[in-house]
């Protein structure tokens, strides 16, 4: 199957469901799943904690953990998204090489059900290769990439998150971009909302087309930082090809050392705000936690 254009993908979406005026949101009985990365005070990944070491609140109300997996081996669905706009052309060769090594390591280690999809985006979003474990197909997609045009970053994030929403296991979006969005029809808020609805963690590898402050897109950097922080991921700022490869290696380490926590929301008051703020903490000093900061509840009439 060849690459699918943004027009084809957008036609298949149908948009987000419309909500009635002033709905009241009550929490249903669905399990809320949280992927969590923990580091100690030295910045090292901490994979040896137990269930009792964690606490979790939903809109400020303490919840009881019903699911706990240390170093979870649940299968990964990774959407790798490569910015192919004109502004990234200078570093494209190094990016493609690093992406290939990342995909190769992902598919040869870990769960035998792990899979990856490759998207490219410039003025349009193209699905180069759907979810697969076939490295040859993914390598062929990387070989087709060509830098040209503007940047539809928010469209790309929205579409990738929507496509993976119903996949089993863990869902991860990895974006390689300079962060500048110049042409998307999707807003930043809608893209962020879709990441939350898909329960997807986002990582970003920031590429700077011109070294130094002159090449930075601060608005784009801030957008990528917000996407990653709010979904429990991380943004990387590699300055050379070796650091670019190290960024991908660190993403893999995070994914191999994640905790999976889950709870059934209880004792929450009704609210008109569909977004529930969730806070995960370690009940020991010296630990930092990365996890998405909430979820969207379904409306109840």
Strands 32-39 and 115-121: unpaired
Assess if residue 9 is contained within a domain.
no
Three-state DSSP at 259 gives strand
Residue 204's domain comprises 74-256
Per the structure, the count of domains in the chain is 2
Rg of the chain over Cα atoms, rounded to whole angstroms, equals 19
CATH number of the domain where residue 193 is located: 3.40.50.410
Instruction: For residues 92 and 229, state if they share a domain.
Output: yes
Strand order in the sheet with 32-39: 65-69, 259-263, 32-39, 288-290
Cβ–Cβ under 8 Å, residues 156 and 195: no
pLDDT of residue 90: 64
Residue 213 domain-assigned?
yes
Query: Looking at the structure, do residues 127 and 186 belong to the same domain, yes or no?
Result: yes
Domain-located, residue 20 = no
User: Is the separation of the CB atoms in 120 and 126 below 8 Å?
Assistant: yes
Q: Which pLDDT does position 255 carry in this prediction? A: 95
Query: What is the pLDDT at residue 13?
Result: 41
Per DSSP, the residues of 100-161 read: HHHHHHHHHSS-TT-EEEEEEESSSEEEEEEEES-HHHHHHHHHT----S---HHHHHHHHH
Answer whether residue 272 is part of any domain: yes
Q: Does one domain contain both 42 and 81?
A: no
From the CB of residue 92, how many other CB atoms can be counted at a distance below 10 Å?
18
pLDDT (0 to 100) of residue 91: 63
Do 54 and 82 lie in a common domain?
no
Structure tokens belonging to residue 220: 């784009």
In a shared domain, residues 144 and 291: no
Looking at the fold, whether 51 and 85 belong to one and the same domain comes out as no
Q: Within this chain, do residues 79 and 67 fall inside the same structural domain, yes or no? A: no
Residues 201 and 156 in one domain: yes
Same domain, 47 and 78: no
Q: Are residues 83 and 225 in the same domain?
A: yes
Tell me, yes or no, whether 285 and 143 share the same domain. Answer: no
Q: Identify whether residues 43 and 170 lie together within a single domain.
A: no
pLDDT tens for the 301 residues of the chain, in order: 455 554 445 433 444 444 444 554 444 558 999 999 999 999 999 999 999 999 999 999 999 999 999 988 899 999 999 999 887 666 677 889 999 999 999 999 878 999 999 999 999 999 999 999 999 999 999 999 988 888 999 999 999 999 999 999 999 999 999 878 999 999 999 999 999 999 999 999 998 755 555 556 678 889 999 999 999 999 999 977 788 899 999 999 999 999 999 999 999 988 889 999 999 999 999 999 999 999 998 765 5
């Amino acid at each position: 199957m060849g690459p699918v254009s943004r027009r084809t993908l957008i036609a298949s979406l149908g948009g987000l469901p419309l909500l009635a005026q002033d709905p009241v949101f009550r929490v249903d009985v669905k399990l809320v799943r949280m992927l969590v990365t923990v580091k100690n005070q030295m910045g090292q990944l901490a994979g040896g904690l137990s269930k009792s070491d964690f606490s979790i609140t939903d809109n400020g109300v303490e919840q009881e953990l019903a699911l706990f997996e240390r170093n979870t081996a649940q299968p990964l669905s990774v959407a790798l998204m490569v910015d192919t706009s004109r502004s990234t052309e200078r570093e494209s060769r190094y990016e493609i090489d690093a992406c290939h090594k990342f995909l190769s390591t992902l598919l040869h280690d870990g769960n035998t059900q792990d899979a990856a999809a490759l998207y490219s985006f410039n003025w349009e979003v193209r699905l180069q290769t759907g979810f697969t474990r076939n490295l040859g197909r993914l390598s062929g997609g990387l070989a087709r990439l060509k830098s040209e045009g503007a940047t539809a970053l928010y469209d790309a994030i929205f579409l990738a998150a929507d496509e993976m929403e119903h996949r089993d296991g863990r869902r991860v979006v990895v974006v390689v971009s300079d962060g500048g969005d110049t042409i998307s029809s999707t807003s930043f808020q809608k893209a962020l909302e879709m990441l939350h609805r898909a329960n997807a963690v986002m990582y970003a590898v920031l590429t700077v087309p011109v070294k130094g402050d002159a090449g930075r897109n601060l608005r784009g950097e801030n957008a990528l930082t917000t996407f990653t922080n709010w979904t429990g991921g991380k943004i990387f700022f590699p300055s050379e090809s070796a650091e670019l490869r190290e960024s991908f290696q660190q993403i893999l380490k995070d994914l191999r050392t994640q905790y999976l926590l889950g709870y059934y929301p209880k004792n929450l008051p009704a609210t008109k705000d569909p977004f529930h703020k969730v806070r995960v903490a370690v009940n020991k000093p010296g630990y930092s936690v990365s996890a998405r900061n909430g979820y969207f509840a379904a409306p109840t009439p």
